[in-house]
Homo-oligomer: A and B are copies of this chain.
Amino acid sequence: MSETMTGAVLPGNSTVKFRKYPVPEPGRGQVLVKMKASSICGSDIRAIYREHLGKGPEGYQGVIAGHEPCGQIVKVGPMCREFKEGDRVVIYHISGCGVCDECKKGYMISCQSKHRAAYGWQRDGGHADYLLAEENTCVRLPDSMSYLDGALCACGFGTAYEALRRIEVSGQDRLLVTGLGPVGLAAAMIGRALGSTTIIGTDISDQRLSLAVNLGLVDHAIMSDEATLAKIMALTGDQGCEASIDCSGAASARLLALQGTRDWGRCAYVGEGGSVSFEVSKYLIHKQITLFGSWVTSLGHLEELVERIDRWGIHPDRTCTHRLPLERASEAYQLMDSGNCGKVAIVWDE
Contacts and interface: CB of A to CB of B under 8 A. Distances in A.
Residue with the greatest number of chain B CB neighbours at <10 A, chosen from A81, A98, A104, A276: A104
B272 A281 contact: yes
A311 interface: yes
A341 to B, nearest CB: 24
Nearest to A168: B168
B290 A290 contact: yes
Contacts of A169: 170
A1 interface: no
Most buried by B among A98, A138, A249: A98
A104 B197 CA distance: 25
Contacts of A90: none
Contacts of A135: 98-99
Given A104-B106, A270-B285, A272-B285, A171 B193 contact: yes
Interface in A112-137: 113, 115, 135-136
A279 B286 CA distance: 23
- Range for the number of chain A residues in contact with chain B: 35 or more
A280 interface: yes
Contacts of A280: 249, 254, 269, 271-276, 293
A284 interface: yes
A109 to B, nearest CB: 9
Contact of A195 (B194, B198, B290): B194
A82 B111 CA distance: 12
A194 B242 CA distance: 14
A249 B28 CA distance: 43
A288 B293 contact: yes
A172 B197 contact: no
Contacts of A274: 279-281
Interface in A287-314: 287-295, 298-300, 303-304, 308, 311-312
Nearest to A103: B136
Interface of A: 28, 81-83, 97-101, 104-106, 110, 113, 115, 135-136, 138, 165, 168-172, 193-198, 249, 254, 263, 269-281, 283-295, 298-300, 303-304, 308, 311-312
